[in-house]
Structure formats: structure tokens, C-alpha cells
Amino acid sequence: MINLELGSKHQETFDKLRMMAEHMMRPYSRKYDREEHTYPKEMEEVAKILSSNRPIASAKSDPGAKGVRNGANLLSVTAYEAMCWGDVGLMLSLPGRGLGNAAISAVATPEQLKKFGGRYAAMAITEPGAGSDSANISTTAVLDGDEWIINGEKIFVTDGEHCDVVVVWATLDKSLGKAAIKSFVVEKGTPGCEVTRLEHKLGIRASDTAAINFSDCRIPKDNILGNPEVAKNAEERKKAFGGVMQTFDNTRPPVAAMAIGVGRAALDLTREILGREGFELSFDKNPINSSSLEAELTRMEAEWNAARLLVQRAAWMADNKMPNSKEASMCKAKAGRMGNAVTLRCVAMCSSLGYGENELLEKFARDSKILDIFEGTQQIQQLIVARRVLGKSSSELK
């Protein structure tokens, strides 16, 4: 059974990262928000500290462990929450911590993990004609001897400019639909792989968002993640694409944890700003005796706690080898919605101080919006949850 409190080691990690977020990330928030697309060199030092402090091994690394495990997945969401209390964009720009790393960790062979596990990996799925419908992608991969030839265009690739490798979703045969979709690791600098533009964005400006074009891009045959064979019957095809989509079960809880972090940041700063005017939130009052301001803050605190517990549950299930597709989508839907609603309301509650650039509240609100969109929109998460609850397939419930 899940414990509703973090274990001592996870809590210790959270406290250290929260301190790092306050003293090594927030001081640069405004600088890199204004200097969009400028590489945040100061984050290299943060990445070094993180790489030298890995106190908890993953469940994979301890196959003989028995009983309930709080491992790498719970540690991951704990870390994302702490660092995004500092700055979401800077956290996303940390060298070696791209969204593609989760995909590599989930399905790579031991040889691939050795080759790519320590590289800074971006994830390239979205295309001009395929967004939330990831099964409709048209980027192709054709086997030619000992190489795959990749052709297509990917957009909205987080950290696509600064990453070392890109995990690219491509189809082996468009006529076979989602069953033929596989993921490939493309090293930056490979001929035929070109960043064509960087997007100007509402938030997370410290993190680059790129469009990448693949034109006869050749990569080694071994750079395909997972089984290279296309399933022959409907049942096998369903399972094959399910394996590809399982990547999202690993990446959605961390993205949800980012929303938890920025939501907490907004609530903390709002209480600090209001506290300067003599306001203090107390949870021991009877609701009928609370002011409208106290009632609203209390409600937002409750929403935040509910989202955080959903995130921790999804991560804990992954650590304990439990299927968590529904829970991963539930926590992403709840946390994404909560983060955006809370940060925007905090801006309004603090009036001109919330809207101006003297405080970070308006930046928290801008950064929060993408967390409700990428790794699957709010609507897509609700659709996935509905399918799981009702026992419907994607063709039965669209």
C-alpha cells in the first residue's frame, strides 16, 4: 500500500533540490526568460551536482529487492517537483535530462543504455499534421542494409537544439497504421538531421523548442528502440503499439510533477505577498468563519494536494511493476489543469503585484500553460482515462 508521506531518503533529496532551486535556479529566472533561446550555461553546474548525487537506485538495478519499493520513478517526480518550484524552463534545459531519456530508459537494450543512457535526449513525436493523434505520424523509416533512412518533419521538440540525441517516432509502413510505428535514436550532427527553426513561446523560454527536418537521414540499424519487426496480426499489432505508447506512462507523471512544482511556487509566493499586508492563512478555522480569500486559498491547497498524491501514486505503481497507464493519464490531467488554474488565480489575487514583473507570479502562470498541453493534452488524458474505466478500445471511443 502506498504511504502518503515521502520516505526519509526521498524527502532528503527533495529538500536538497528545493534549496538548489531557490539559490541556483530562481536567481536566473528573469534573465533567461528575457533572453529566449540563450543557452543557460549556469545550469551546467546544477547538472554536475545532480549527477554526483544519486542516492536512490532504480528498481531495475535491484531485481532481488522484495516488498514495496520506492525507486527511480518516485524519485524522478520528487526531483521534478522540487526543481520546478525554482524554474520550469531552466529545469527542462538541464543537460542530460531531456524527455527522450525516459523513452530510452523504458525500452532500450542494455547495449543501447550503455551507448545512449548518459546522453541528453529530446523526444520528437509531433508533426505538422499529427499532434495528439500520435498514431497518425507520417515520418518514415526505411531499412537499407545496415542503416535506417529517416525522412519527415518534427515540430515542438523540447530541447531539440541543445540535446545530444533525438528519439524520433517514425513509421515503417504507413498503410499498417499505428502497428508500424517505432522509435529511433538519432544523434545530433548526423547528416540529414537539421534544426530548421526555434519557436518563440508564451512560457518556458529558457528551454528551446525546435522544429527538426529529417532528409535521407541515415542511422545505424541498431538505433531502433524495441522490436524492429512489424506485428503480423491485429492482436500483436495492438500490443506492439501499446509498447510504444508505454513510453508516455513513464513521461506523464514527471510532467505532472512539473505542474505540482510550479503550482506550489505560486501558492507560496501568493501567501508571502499577502502576508506583507497582514494576511495569514489558517487551516484551523471553521469554513463558515473564513473570508472569501481564505476559502479560495484553502480550496487551491486542497486541489494541489490531490494532484500531488495522484502523481506520487502513478510513479509508485511504476516502481512496483504495476500497470499505470490510467493513473499516469489521471495525474497528468489533474496536475496540468490544477497548475494552470492555480497560477492564474494567484496572479489575480495579488492584483498588480501578480501581473507585474517585479514578482515571478506572472512567469509561473505563463510557464504552467504548456504543462497542460505537452505529453498529451487535457482532452487526450481524459479520453484515455475514459477508455480504461469503460473498457473501450481507441476505435470504440474516439
Query: Residue 13 is placed in which grid cell?
Result: 533529496
86 part of a folded domain: no
Q: Is 375 assigned a catalytic role?
A: yes
275 part of a folded domain: no
* Active-site residue, from 81, 127, 161, 375: 375
Q: Is the Cβ–Cβ distance between 127 and 190 less than 8 Å?
A: no
What's the pLDDT at 58?
40
Bridge-based pairing state of the strands 224-225 and 181-187: antiparallel
DSSP state of 157: E
CA 339 distance to own-chain centroid: 14
296 part of a folded domain: no
Q: What is the pLDDT along the chain (398 residues), one digit of tens a residue?
A: 556 688 888 999 999 999 999 999 999 999 999 999 999 999 999 998 888 765 443 434 344 455 567 788 899 999 999 999 999 999 999 887 788 887 888 788 999 999 998 899 999 999 999 887 777 899 999 999 999 999 999 999 999 999 999 999 999 998 888 888 999 999 999 999 999 999 999 999 999 999 999 999 999 999 999 888 876 666 655 555 555 666 788 889 999 999 999 999 999 999 999 999 888 888 887 777 788 899 999 999 999 999 999 999 999 999 898 999 999 999 999 999 999 999 999 999 999 999 999 999 999 999 999 999 998 899 999 999 999 999 998 889 98
The separation between the first and the last C-alpha atoms of the chain, rounded to the nearest angstrom, is 34
DSSP letter for each residue of 87-147: -HHHHHTSTT--THHHHHHHH--HHHHHHHTTS-EEEE--BTTBSS-GGG---EEEEETTE
Domain of 134, in residue numbers? 121-229
- Taking the C-alpha atoms of residue 265 and residue 259, their distance in angstroms, rounded to an integer, is 10
Torsion of CA 288, 293, 295, 296, to 10 degrees: 160
DSSP state of 191: T
33 part of a folded domain: no
Among 273, 245, 285, 264, residue whose Cα is nearest residue 349: 273
Q: Is the Cβ–Cβ distance between 208 and 195 less than 8 Å?
A: no
Query: Residue 179 is placed in which grid cell?
Result: 502497428
384 part of a folded domain: no
What's the pLDDT at 118?
84
251 part of a folded domain: no
What's the pLDDT at 332?
97
Bridge-based pairing state of the strands 147-158 and 209-220: antiparallel
Domain harbouring 163, CATH code: 2.40.110.10
- Taking the C-alpha atoms of residue 38 and residue 26, their distance in angstroms, rounded to an integer, is 16
Give the up-direction half-sphere exposure of residue 378: CA atoms within 13 A in the CB hemisphere. Answer: 13
Bridge-based pairing state of the strands 121-124 and 165-171: parallel
Give the up-direction half-sphere exposure of residue 193: CA atoms within 13 A in the CB hemisphere. Answer: 23
Q: Is the Cβ–Cβ distance between 82 and 22 less than 8 Å?
A: no
Query: Residue 146 is placed in which grid cell?
Result: 545496415
The total of structural domains in the chain comes to: 1
Angle in degrees, CA 339, 91, 54, rounded to 5: 115
Q: Which residues are within 8 A (CB) of 153 and not within 5 positions of it... i.e. 6 or more apart?
A: 127, 128, 139, 196, 211, 212, 213, 214
pTM of the model: 0.90
322 part of a folded domain: no
106 part of a folded domain: no
- The type of residue at 378 is Q
Q: Is the Cβ–Cβ distance between 47 and 94 less than 8 Å?
A: yes
- Taking the C-alpha atoms of residue 244 and residue 247, their distance in angstroms, rounded to an integer, is 6
- Taking the C-alpha atoms of residue 83 and residue 261, their distance in angstroms, rounded to an integer, is 7
